[in-house]
């Protein structure tokens, strides 16, 4: 698309808060659960089944994204998707997002417009009926997108991490390791020294585009969260920090051991075990149940010395801990 | 209180995310509406009346607070209070907070512990029954606290900004200008050149302590939001950016003119009109209604050329716009 001239695309520090808000609101449709949308002190959402699911997750420039690799659209999409996945992982249907945006004053207005477009597109593609219903806009030297997602259980009980029972099967819906593969492509091939540089499409090998998309604009199977709950999932969570680490959390919460099958983890089981940010849904089901969209990757056993095994052997794979692992770079 | 040694009080970059989370959760009681609290992908809250009020507001180091002036406790308290006020302004009772925290790695663990204590204390003091039910922890070079507050309308309709009618009285509950007076004391007397320095209690004149408290740990009258709604408030909002600016927003939303009375605006009507961050509740009521805790400060008139008058004359007072007004300093 043709880029706008600087006159057409001012920096945020040169326009009023009202101008920025109007640009966002023009790109923010109302949602089916919205009783009162943006513009007042707070939004009001329908919660017809008498409860509401709520979660929050933040993307920070540097540890969570680089502007050379992520467009505003990508960032809006991903910020929505990672929060929608947390709602889906409870077995709920997402109803609304609230977006707290802290933006540097030298950022262009078009970036914020693209961000709003990304939020809208992710909701329409991944969670129809959900939309941004409120937000907050402030300035910061570090671009920060803090999102809260709300959801409706439609009368069901929430599916937690703690209900897995020995004898259940372990199943997953969505990608394993694809997002990490995309991150490896970015860090390995699209940097000049330590500085991220834009992706050149012609330099991508077959399959790498899908890996980059999974990293920059993940599409977790949001609609399968309610499907799993209705089918009788005994436990569920989304895989944010890698299968091994998150399966270990489920095993601890449920006081069981999860034994994974390497032959169900794709071409590169180690990447599937370690790779974060896929936001696939990890669930356990009674042995006679497997809803469409899920594939079996292991079994639930009585709790042993290790929370997670693969082919009966202990798994030693670390996940991502931003407190230790972020290199303090941005770009 | 005695300060802890560095060994007892590590920097966040030297401990795991789990250590920080455990410190926060140990200070986070459950709330009366909590069906499922922290620890899973999302929280589940009761929404017994079939809807939920939701709002988000962020405090960023620099434009919104300075660490020389605000303790962790102050910051937690204020982050809670400003969000609770937005829920109250809809006529709702706050039920839950979600806290997205982005913290520099050189911050001390004790700061985060105090922050959690401040959240808890503000909820207990201002909105009993409300508590932090979920959150997110990430790293950032800029300390950022993004809070989402949820509330319950208890079967009532939301009170918006748009329902004021000619003939209504304009009333307020809470302080006007006190927080701005506190900010003026901080910027005027507790800086070394441009650099904020800690407040010295012995240098405060009579009344200045209350002004500082209003700025650093505001106590808006959260419980009076539902009271106003039950009494029949026709419109309501919290005063974040100053009475003149926010009354103008209410006047635009309701298509009326608000005529304030200077003799009801305290010793310094200009400060009351311009001063932001009080989070007092501004409401309109039918002429025969005034619930306890509210005082009349003006009248609603048919829409004229100006949205806000004072003693029948136009008011020209600007509020705070971080896009234009922040000086880019922190400290």
Token reading at A5: 């001239």
Residue A215 carries which DSSP code?
Answer: H
Q: Which of B98, B112, B119 is nearest to B15 (CA)?
A: B112
> CB A237 to CB B40 under 8 A?
yes
Distance of CA A17 to CAs A109, A260, B309, Å?
Answer: 11, 51, 24
Q: What is the pLDDT of residue A321?
A: 60
Query: What percent of chain B lies above the pLDDT cut of 70?
Result: 95
Task: Check if the beta carbon of residue A97 is closer than 8 Å to that of residue A131.
Answer: yes
Percentages helix, strand, coil for chain A, rounded to the nearest 5?
30, 25, 40
Q: Which residue in B128, B278, B280 sits closest to B217, CA to CA?
A: B278
Give the mean model confidence (pLDDT) for residues B300-325. Answer: 83
- Contact residues, chain A, for B253 at CB < 8 Å: 39-40
User: Sheet holding A144-152: strands in order across?
Assistant: A131-139, A93-103, A144-152, A51-60, B43-46, B34-36
Q: For residue range B189-248, list pLDDT tens digits in order.
A: 999 998 999 999 999 998 999 999 999 999 999 999 999 999 999 999 999 999 999 999
**Of A279, A189, A288, which is closest to residue A225 (Cα–Cα)?**
A279
User: Which of the 8 DSSP states describes residue B83?
Assistant: H
User: CB–CB of B44 and A63 under 8 A?
Assistant: no
Of 3.30.1330.10, 3.40.50.2300, 3.30.830.10, 3.40.250.10, the CATH number of B15-152 is 3.30.1330.10
Q: HSE of A326 in the Cβ direction (CA atoms, 13 Å)?
A: 24
Q: Quick one: pLDDT at residue B330? A: 80
For B63, the closest of A139, A158, A323 (CB atoms) is A139
- Dump pLDDT digits (tens) for B126-185: 999 999 999 999 999 999 999 999 999 999 999 999 999 999 999 999 999 999 999 999
Residues 6 or more apart from B172 whose CB is under 8 A from it?
A: B239, B243, B280, B281, B282, B283, B294, B295, B297
- pLDDT by residue for chain A (331 residues), tens digit each? 445 666 789 999 999 888 999 999 999 988 889 999 999 999 999 999 999 999 999 999 999 999 999 999 999 999 999 999 999 999 999 999 999 999 999 999 999 999 999 999 999 999 999 999 999 999 999 999 999 999 999 999 999 999 999 999 999 999 999 999 999 999 999 999 989 999 999 999 989 999 999 999 999 999 999 999 999 999 999 999 999 999 999 999 999 999 999 999 999 999 999 999 999 999 999 999 999 999 999 999 999 999 999 999 999 776 556 556 667 778 7
Residues of A in contact with B158 (CB under 8 A): 35-36, 40, 42, 44
Structure tokens at B37: 């609290």
Give the count of beta carbons closer than 10 Å to the beta carbon of residue B140.
27
Q: What is the nearest CA distance from B151 to chain A, expressed in angstroms?
A: 9
The one-character DSSP state at B158 is P
Q: Which residue is closest to B11 within chain A, CA to CA?
A: A323
The answer on whether B306 is annotated among ligand-binding residues is: no
B169-321 CATH pick, 3.90.650.10, 3.90.226.10, 3.40.1710.10, 3.30.70.1230: 3.90.650.10
CB nearest B54 (choices: A43, A55, A146):
A43
CB pairs under 8 A between A and B: 249
Which chain A residue shows the shortest CA-CA distance from B140? A60
Pair of tokens at residue B97: 């907070």
Contact call for residues A290 and A234 (beta carbons, < 8 A) = no
Interchain pair A323, B20: CB under 8 A: yes
| Partners of residue A139 in chain B, C-beta under 8 Å | 60, 62-63, 322-323, 326
Contact (CB<8Å) A52/B100: no
Structural domain boundaries of chain B?
Answer: 15-152, 169-321
According to the annotation, is A179 in a ligand binding site? Answer: no
Q: What totals of helices (H) and strands (E) does chain A contain, helices first?
A: 9, 15
Query: What's the fold here for domain A169-320?
Result: Phosphoribosyl-aminoimidazole Synthetase; Chain A, domain 2 (3.90.650)
DSSP symbol at B291: -
User: Which pLDDT tens digit goes with each residue over B51-82?
Assistant: 999 999 999 999 999 999 999 999 999 999 99
Look at B98 and A54 and tell me if their CB atoms are within 8 Å: yes
Please tell me the distance in Å from B253's CA to the nearest CA on chain A: 9
Nearest to A235 by CA among A191, A281, A291: A281
- The shortest CB-CB distance from A321 to any of B17, B39, B53 is to B17
Q: Is B86 annotated as a binding residue?
A: yes
- Specify the DSSP class assigned to residue A158: P
B321 contacts in A (CB within 8 Å)?
Answer: 16-17
B16–chain A nearest CA distance, Å: 6
| B34-36/A256-260 β-pairing | unpaired
Starting at the earlier edge strand, list the strands of the sheet with B235-239.
Answer: B235-239, B280-285, B169-173, B295-302, B256-260, B308-310, B313-314
Number of helices (H) and strands (E) in chain B: give both, helices first. 9, 15
- The shortest CB-CB distance from A141 to any of B13, B36, B142 is to B142
Give the number of C-alpha atoms closer than 13 A to the C-alpha of residue B316, restricted to the C-beta side: 0
Which residue of B40, B157, B280, B318 is the best one to mutate when testing the A interface, meaning the one whose CB has the most A CBs within 10 A? B40
- Is A240 annotated in some ligand binding site? yes
Q: Percent of chain B at pLDDT above 90?
A: 89
Mean pLDDT of chain B: 94
Fold of the A13-152 domain: 60s Ribosomal Protein L30; Chain: A; (3.30.1330)
pLDDT of residue B1: 46
Q: Is residue A160 annotated as involved in ligand binding?
A: no
B58 labelled ligand-binding: no
The total number of residues written for chain A in this structure: 331
Token readout for A182 is 């995309």
**Integer Cα distance of A238 and A249 in angstroms:** 11
Chain-chain contact of B58 with A12 (C-beta, under 8 angstroms): no
Q: Report whether A316 belongs to an annotated binding site.
A: no
Residues whose CB is less than 8 angstroms from the CB of residue B17 and which lie 6 or more positions away in sequence, other chains included: A321, A322, A323, B137
Q: What pLDDT is stored for residue A319 in this prediction?
A: 58
* Per-residue pLDDT at B328 exceeds 80: no
Helix axes B224-231, B72-88, angle to 10 degrees: 10
Tell me A40's DSSP state: B
Note the pLDDT of residue B4: 66
Contacts of A13 in chain B (CB under 8 A): 323-324
Binary contact (A100, B148; C-beta < 8 A):
yes
Q: List strand residue ranges (DSSP E) for B104-230, in order.
A: 131-139, 144-152, 169-173, 191-192, 195-196
Residue B106, classified by CB atoms within 10 Å of its CB into exposed (0-12), middle (13-18) or buried (19+), is exposed
Q: Which candidate, A21, A119, A135, A20, places its Cα nearest to that of A78? A: A119
| Contact: A47, B50; criterion CB under 8 Å | yes
Token pair of B154 as six digits:
């208890």
Q: Do A40 and B323 touch (CB under 8 A)?
A: no
Name chain B contacts of A89, Cβ cutoff 8 Å. Answer: 41-42
Nearest to A298 by CA among A262, A251, A253, A250: A262
pLDDT of residue A57: 97
- Torsion, Cα A268 A271 A274 A275, to 10 degrees, reads -140
Q: Best interface-test mutation with B: which of A54, A85, A152, A320 has the largest number of B CBs within 10 A?
A: A54
Residue A320 in marked binding region = yes
Query: What separation, in Å, do the N-terminal and C-terminal C-alpha atoms of chain A show?
Result: 23
The 8-class DSSP code of residue A62 comes to T
**Which tokens go with A128?**
């129809």
Closest CA to A92 of A224, A226, A222: A226
């Amino acid at each position: 698309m043709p880029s706008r001239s600087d006159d057409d695309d001012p920096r945020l520090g040169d326009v009023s808060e009202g101008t920025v808000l109007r640009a966002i609101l023009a790109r923010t449709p109302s949602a089916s659960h919205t009783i009162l949308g943006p513009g007042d002190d707070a939004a009001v959402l329908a919660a017809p089944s008498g409860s509401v699911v709520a979660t929050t997750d933040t993307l920070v420039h540097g540890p969570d994204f680089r502007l050379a690799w992520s467009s505003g659209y990508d960032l809006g999409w991903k910020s929505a998707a990672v929060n929608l996945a947390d709602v889906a992982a409870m077995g709920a249907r997402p109803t609304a997002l609230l977006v707290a945006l802290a933006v540097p004053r030298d950022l262009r207005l078009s970036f914020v417009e693209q961000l709003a477009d990304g939020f809208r597109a992710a909701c329409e593609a991944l969670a129809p009926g959900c939309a941004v219903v409120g937000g907050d806009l402030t300035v910061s030297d570090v671009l920060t997108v803090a999102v809260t997602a709300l959801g409706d259980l439609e009368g069901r009980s929430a599916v937690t991490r703690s209900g897995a029972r020995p004898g259940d099967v372990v199943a997953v819906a969505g990608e394993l390791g694809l997002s990490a593969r995309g991150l490896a492509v970015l860090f390995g091939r699209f940097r000049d020294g330590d500085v991220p540089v834009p992706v050149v499409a012609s330099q991508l090998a077959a399959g790498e585009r899908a890996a980059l998309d999974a990293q920059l604009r993940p599409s977790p199977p949001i609609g399968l969260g309610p499907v799993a709950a209705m089918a009788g999932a005994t436990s569920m969570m989304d895989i944010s920090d890698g299968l091994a680490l998150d399966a270990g959390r489920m095993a601890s919460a449920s006081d069981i051991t999860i034994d994974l099958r390497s032959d169900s983890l794709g071409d590169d089981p180690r990447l599937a075990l370690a790779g974060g940010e896929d936001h696939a849904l990890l669930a356990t089901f009674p042995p006679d149940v497997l809803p469409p969209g899920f594939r079996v990757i292991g079994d639930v056993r009585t709790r042993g010395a290790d929370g997670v095994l693969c082919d009966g052997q202990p798994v030693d794979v670390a996940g991502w801990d931003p407190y230790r692992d972020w290199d303090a770079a941005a770009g």
